[in-house]
Amino acid sequence: MATDVNHTLKNGAMSILGRLVDASNATLLVTVEGEADSEEGTKCIYKPIAGERPLWDFPHGTLAHREYAAYLVSSRANFDVVPLTLLRQGPYGEGAVQEWIDIDESIDLLELFKQDLSELRKMALFDAVINNTDRKIGHLLPTADGRILGCDHGVTFHSDDKLRTVLWQWAGVELSTKEREQLGRLLNLIDGSLGSELDDLLTQGEVRELSRRVKSLLETGSFPLPNPDWPSVPWPPF
């Protein structure tokens, strides 16, 4: 099933349904149609590079490339917290295309983000790895089957410590054996095939710092603490 969706998102004809007006950059709701007449269109989010606003602290690269890089880290290292994301051409040029996730609307996000849940803990560790500077409550996507995915990873992988998140429940908490093993596998991937893919999406310094952050997490053996010289929670937090 995942392979079918990947093929559709990569190759299907894209039709624009509308724009998410609350987004600071061009964010379009689209459908991508499968090859067979019987296939229904797959709903997704299309973020064209042409619609990105320049950011003073991210002068190099694009938000779309960072979105895709975050997906690669999530999928390759088995975090599995980012919806299927890829880069492709659309009506407004190349951009990031991400599968739409139907959330469980019965879940109160204002209560969810504060809880000690394994799915949120996994997200917090992932954010520490990619140096997410904008993990807001509204970027959490709880699903009916108990998963919690995350969206909006355009401001990630900075070379400086810019971790800014609402998920600080585990600050300073010791990493589990499973988490340390996961980070060890990720480090090997960065030194190999994943690193080669990221070289095409990020700067050399950002890939180098990604490796350093993973090594630091393994050396300290615990979740990071907030940076005292940087706002630790995004504003607004939702």
Averaged pLDDT for residues 113-130: 98
Pull the structure tokens for residue 5: 């969706």
Asked if pLDDT for residue 120 goes beyond 60, the answer is yes
Q: What are the pLDDT digits (tens) for 45-97?
A: 999 999 999 998 999 999 999 999 999 999 999 999 999 999 999 999 999 99
Euclidean distance between CA atoms 163 and 131, whole angstroms: 5
State how far Cα 96 lies from the chain centre. Answer: 11
Ranges of each domain in the chain? 2-220
pLDDT given for residue 37 in this prediction: 44
Pull the structure tokens for residue 195: 């690193």
Whole-prediction pTM: 0.95
pLDDT given for residue 5 in this prediction: 86
Euclidean distance between CA atoms 64 and 98, whole angstroms: 10
pLDDT given for residue 35 in this prediction: 60
* Nearest in space to 190 (alpha carbons), one of 198, 179, 182: 198
